[in-house]
Structure 1
Amino acid sequence: MTEPLSPADVTADHFRPHIDKDFRIPGWPHPMALTAVESGGGKGGQSDAERREPFTLIFRGPPREVMREGFYTLQLDDGPWFNLYIMPIHTAASDRQDYQALFN
């Protein structure tokens, strides 16, 4: 893929093949591993043609160094890239910091 998909066109199935793979973020020194694609909870959108199932992506980053919430370009090595709004989330484990990207 040479350019990112529009957020309206992205589904959970675009990400499931990339679970346990590392994404790179320009300007951020650490890879972010996609650890889960969680879906369920009904349909979003305004018409039947626009509806998609909401889903959440969960990424794992290093502990103690928290990336700020915001829009980032995430890219797989030699693979697709996505512009996503990423936010840190409460992470009880001390060996990582988790992040999420929500699609509704």
Structure 2
Amino acid sequence: MVHYVIDPAEIEAFERFGRRWMELVERHGGTHHGYFLPAEGASDAALALFSFPSLAAYEEYRALFGSDPDFVEADRIRDESGCVLRYDRTFMRPVLPGGS
């Protein structure tokens, strides 16, 4: 899970940023479960949820940060618009209905 503090005035840029990252996660073996943006009232909070089949698969994906041109281009949306003020990543595991 990635928790973002966003600039509400740059929500459209954040959506472009999010759509690009959804493509990249899916292309590199992950499953993106979506970005969750403010729906009512003033808010600067947004969330992204995605998963990978293993820690090794996630680490392969992370190794592309800063070097793969598509990753750099996606981050440029964030950097040039200022849509993300800060973010933090939390690793979680699901407890799903019917699980044992």
Normalising to structure 1: TM-score of the pair?
Answer: 0.38
Greater length-normalized contact order (CA 8 Å, ≥ 6 residues apart)? 2
Q: Which has the higher strand share?
A: 1
Normalising to structure 2: TM-score of the pair?
Answer: 0.39
